[in-house]
Amino acid sequence: MPDTQHSNQTQTTAELLATLGGAARRAARAVAAADSGQKNSALLAIAGQLQTHRAAILAANAEDMANGRAKQLEAALLDRLELDDSRIDAMIEGLEQVAALPDPVGAITDLHYRPSGIQLGKMRVPLGVIGIIYESRPNVTIDAASLCLKSGNAAILRGGSEAIHSNRAIAVAIGEGLKAAGLPTSAVQVVETTDRDAVAAMIAMPEFIDVIVPRGGKGLIERIANDARVPVIKHLDGNCHVYIDDQADLNMAYDIAINAKTHRYGVCNAMESLLVASAVAEKILPRLAGGYANHGVELRGCEKTCSIIDALPATHSDWSEEYLAPILAIKIVANIDEAIGHISQFSSGHTEAIVTENYARARQFMAEVDSSSVMVNASTRFADGFEYGLGAEIGISTDKIHARGPVGLEGLTSQKWIVLGSGQVRS
Amino acid sequence: MPDTQHSNQTQTTAELLATLGGAARRAARAVAAADSGQKNSALLAIAGQLQTHRAAILAANAEDMANGRAKQLEAALLDRLELDDSRIDAMIEGLEQVAALPDPVGAITDLHYRPSGIQLGKMRVPLGVIGIIYESRPNVTIDAASLCLKSGNAAILRGGSEAIHSNRAIAVAIGEGLKAAGLPTSAVQVVETTDRDAVAAMIAMPEFIDVIVPRGGKGLIERIANDARVPVIKHLDGNCHVYIDDQADLNMAYDIAINAKTHRYGVCNAMESLLVASAVAEKILPRLAGGYANHGVELRGCEKTCSIIDALPATHSDWSEEYLAPILAIKIVANIDEAIGHISQFSSGHTEAIVTENYARARQFMAEVDSSSVMVNASTRFADGFEYGLGAEIGISTDKIHARGPVGLEGLTSQKWIVLGSGQVRS
């Protein structure tokens, strides 16, 4: 009997998701057709409703926090789960910021005449229905909803089960805001079941969902990418490199290498491996070692590195590691070719930087390094939607197709071809 | 025992594909780094080698044809399989045309300064390794190889088993051409086994292949899309619509409706369903019925259509059908909203056209119809890589992400972010 019961539950969850999917598909047409003014009123109305429902949201969050503590969730997870007035203020501010961004939808580019007489161009259009699968932070519910709406998409949001009461309360505010702006409430739907099969169902319904954006740990994202039958915009990990060339300005190299590692540790655009041209290793490494020591950064070096500075011996796995911690792997390389070879072998394709004053090497690094952001003489920490002026960020893609690097509103859209004619036919 | 044997074979094929994949991955770096001159010499050298190996290719093809006839393959399939001098000439000409196209790789756009002082832009880059899975036509081997090479990608080509001797012979010419231009021969690899497990292996190795482009029947493409763990640029079907508005120029509407259906029948951008505003149905339909009768097109109409002209009654399934034949479904609709609603329900998202002289309706149709090409007052037959000036076409995508509609060189590339700095760090 348990088997049957399980299969019944599965079916029920899949049916529930199909119902949400069908409603999202219908709502998507209305959101796509909404003009910028209507979408912005919806965003501001949702902000107003967060204000109105503030007490209810905080109460719901308190319930999630109590359950989380009872379940002895980790402190870091509880911190991400917790809402307070300032976090709700930040959600409201985020909605206002997205409302102020330019609307990407409908932009027509490259309109030109073809020899046949047709006028051909591209129009930016929403993708349709976006599925977001995320973990504990309830503010992602508002982030994701606002970016999907502004880019003309409907959204199905599947947050972590530990945040379910918070997400339901936020969903009420979103629904009220949509209604006030005359948009269907099913334009943004929060999956209200905590059944784990809901994720499996979501990633297997290409008829209802056009793209899945998973946000969370690498394990979650890998599982989703492996099983998904819907395209996935995924962010795996950020094993970022800085290469200090032998023609680098060594003061600049010092500043960038310190900043890229120590500005923040738990972020995907932090440097995890430092590559140093052997000709300058003896000059720069002792100074860097001093700087890192002041920040309490543990160094793990190749054999040559360990002969110059005090560092633990790096093992092979260190070159692939995303530490997200005050730890740095250091390798001395012969030249830029060995640096690029190392990056090509070990990088996760997120962000890499070269420090050099040599023109040809700067060009070579830019052309040959295949990562979503490639930098010359700047800290990897700049690889960020806000620093890039996207205004907001749904994630940082380490994929190659569709969107690479920080994904803002444009990454949630596509371009269709438009043809303006005056009766042309093919002959 | 058979089970074990099968599993051993599977492993062998998967291992073979992994070997090809590893070689492609290494070759991809060389192709990506090759400049336009080197890539063009490779294309022209391959053209020269096709000339040199012409007799061998024709002999190999004769073997495939003999096997095909022995297996009693369909006449249409045998026609697609057959090579003759003029088809080899066309392959040579195709290579020369691709060599003459502008190189998309390395183009830097939108370079601008951010408040932090960094200069931010986007650089167009190859995707890496492209896997092409196709059916009987051996000329696709050259088409696909030339587009992948020109866009800086390595390619793994898996043609139909019935064309295996032809493809092997063409692969020899490709290899010689690559060698002559100083590029690794593994930049273009033809899968030389006819084992069906090869496709299953190819679509499950994201570590070696960045995108799969299947070319062939809808069944093949659906199977691949369902099972793939690598992103797929897919072309399912073309159920294209023309909507004749009540404010259409009826002479223009007549020309477009006749051309879109009868110019060629077996193509994905042919009209399959005609929607007519009821206010003009009695005027235009009898004239159209006469025109279609001259072309021998079978008409299947909604109830109202059948009350105006002589047509078979359409069933529900006719609205979804891609006939690829001289058959047309006709439906009378109240207005543009009903037309867009019908398209949104039944279209495959390939190409739709409106015929109207009304400005607001032209804008509404362009904004609200969610297909890869949306046209005003032009025949759907223009939705084509050559008509769009792409110079060549790897396929027509009915997907929404990455590439929509005709996919040329640009669709085989992506954009990475580049940052030019002068020592900037995050504060």
Digit-coded pLDDT (tens) for A272-301: 999 999 999 999 999 999 999 999 999 999
CB contact under 8 A, A118 and B378: yes
C-alpha pair distances (Å), B421 with each of A264, A367, B296 = 20, 16, 66
Residue B343 in tokens:
């398209």
| Polymer length in residues for chain B | 427
**Chain A within 8 Å of B217 (Cβ-Cβ)?**
no
With b for 16 or more beta-carbon neighbours within 10 A and e for fewer, the B302-326 pattern comes to bebbbebbebeebeeebbebbbeee
| Interatomic CA distance for residues B300 and B208, integer angstroms | 48
Spatial neighbors of A81 by CB under 8 A, at least 6 apart, are: A61, A64, A65, A68, A73, A136, A137, A138, A162, A163, A166
Q: What is the dihedral of CA B327, B233, B120, B30, to 10 degrees?
A: -130
pLDDT at residue A10, rounded to an integer:
53
Give the pLDDT confidence of A338-355 residue by residue, as tens digits.
999 999 999 999 999 999
pLDDT at residue A214, rounded to an integer:
92
Q: What is the dihedral of CA B290, B295, B298, B300, to 10 degrees?
A: -50
CA distance B93 to chain A (A): 21
Q: Strand, helix or coil at A420?
A: strand
Residue of B114, B400, B422 with shortest CB distance to A414: B400
pLDDT at residue A150, rounded to an integer:
97
| Interatomic CA distance for residues A106 and A122, integer angstroms | 9
Q: A115: buried, middle or exposed (CB in 10 Å: 19+, 13-18, 0-12)?
A: exposed
CA distance B178 to chain A (A): 20
Judging contacts by C-beta atoms under 8 Å, the chain A residues touching residue B249 are 423
Judging contacts by C-beta atoms under 8 Å, the chain A residues touching residue B401 are 127, 210-211, 231, 233, 401-402, 414
> Mind listing the pLDDT tens digit of every residue in chain B (427 residues)?
334 344 455 568 889 999 999 999 999 999 999 999 999 999 999 999 999 999 999 999 999 999 999 999 999 889 999 999 999 999 999 999 999 999 999 999 999 999 999 999 999 999 999 999 998 789 999 999 999 999 999 999 999 999 999 999 999 999 999 999 999 999 999 998 888 889 999 999 999 999 999 988 888 888 898 888 888 998 878 999 999 999 999 999 999 999 999 999 999 999 999 999 999 999 999 999 999 999 999 999 999 999 999 999 999 999 999 999 999 999 999 999 999 999 999 999 999 999 999 999 999 999 999 999 999 999 999 999 989 998 878 888 988 888 899 999 999 999 999 999 999 999 9
- pLDDT band, residue A334 (cuts 50/70/90): very high
Question: Which helix (DSSP H) or strand (DSSP E) does residue B184 occupy?
Answer: none
CB B32 within 8 A of CB B125: yes
Give the Cα-Cα-Cα angle B153, B386, B270 (nearest 5 degrees).
Answer: 115
Q: Strand, helix or coil at A209?
A: coil
The reported pTM is 0.90
In B, residues 290-319, which contact A (CB 8 Å cutoff)?
none
**Chain A within 8 Å of B345 (Cβ-Cβ)?**
no
**Chain A within 8 Å of B374 (Cβ-Cβ)?**
yes
Asked which of A113-122, A214-223, A262-271, B46-55 is least confident by mean pLDDT, the reply is A214-223
Which residue do the tokens 């043609």 mark? B159
In A, residues 166-205, which contact B (CB 8 Å cutoff)?
none
Q: What integer is the mean pLDDT of A410-422?
A: 96
ipTM: 0.91
Q: Strand, helix or coil at A92?
A: helix
pLDDT at residue B3, rounded to an integer:
40
CB contact under 8 A, A377 and B426: no
Which residue do the tokens 């009693």 mark? B72
Question: Which helix (DSSP H) or strand (DSSP E) does residue B301 occupy?
Answer: strand B298-301
- Residue A229 CA, chain-centre distance (Å), reads 20
Judging contacts by C-beta atoms under 8 Å, the chain A residues touching residue B350 are none
Looking at A189-313, list the stretches that DSSP marks H as alpha helix, in order from N- to C-terminal side: 197-202, 218-227, 250-262, 278-295, 303-308
Closest-CA residue in chain A for B371? A416
| Interatomic CA distance for residues A395 and A234, integer angstroms | 8
| Interatomic CA distance for residues B131 and B190, integer angstroms | 10
Residue B345 in tokens:
């329900």
**CB atoms near residue A180 (< 10 Å):** 15
Q: What integer is the mean pLDDT of A146-164?
A: 96
Q: What integer is the mean pLDDT of A203-231?
A: 90
Q: Strand, helix or coil at A406?
A: strand
Residue of A128, A210, A420 with shortest CB distance to B376: A420
Beta bridge pairs of residue A121:
A418
CA distance A379 to chain B (A): 5
CB B176 within 8 A of CB B41: no
% of chain A surpassing 90 pLDDT: 84
**Chain B within 8 Å of A379 (Cβ-Cβ)?**
yes
pLDDT at residue A4, rounded to an integer:
39
Question: HEC profile for B201-257?
Answer: HHCCCCCCCCEEEEECCHHHHHHHHHHCCCCECCCCCCCEEEEECCCCCHHHHHHHH
With b for 16 or more beta-carbon neighbours within 10 A and e for fewer, the A253-267 pattern comes to bbbbbbbbbbbeeee
| Interatomic CA distance for residues A243 and B101, integer angstroms | 35
pLDDT at residue B213, rounded to an integer:
93
| Polymer length in residues for chain A | 427
Question: Which helix (DSSP H) or strand (DSSP E) does residue B335 occupy?
Answer: none
pLDDT at residue A1, rounded to an integer:
34
Q: What integer is the mean pLDDT of A185-203?
A: 92
Q: What integer is the mean pLDDT of A119-135?
A: 95
Q: Strand, helix or coil at A183?
A: coil
Give the pLDDT confidence of A99-118 residue by residue, as tens digits.
999 999 999 999 999 999 99
pLDDT at residue B366, rounded to an integer:
96
Which residue do the tokens 């009826």 mark? B250
| Interatomic CA distance for residues B261 and B295, integer angstroms | 10
Judging contacts by C-beta atoms under 8 Å, the chain B residues touching residue A379 are 424-426
Spatial neighbors of A18 by CB under 8 A, at least 6 apart, are: A201, A205, A208
Phi, psi at A181, each rounded to 5°: -90, 5
- In the 8-state DSSP scheme, what is residue B326? S
pLDDT at residue B322, rounded to an integer:
94
**Chain B within 8 Å of A220 (Cβ-Cβ)?**
no
CB B324 within 8 A of CB B266: yes
Stronger pLDDT, A122 or B195, i.e. the higher one: A122
Helices (H) and strands (E) in chain B, counts: 14, 16
pLDDT at residue A419, rounded to an integer:
98
- In the 8-state DSSP scheme, what is residue B193? -
CB contact under 8 A, A414 and B426: no
Residue B227 in tokens:
């099972």
Residue of A383, A414, A423 with shortest CB distance to B252: A423
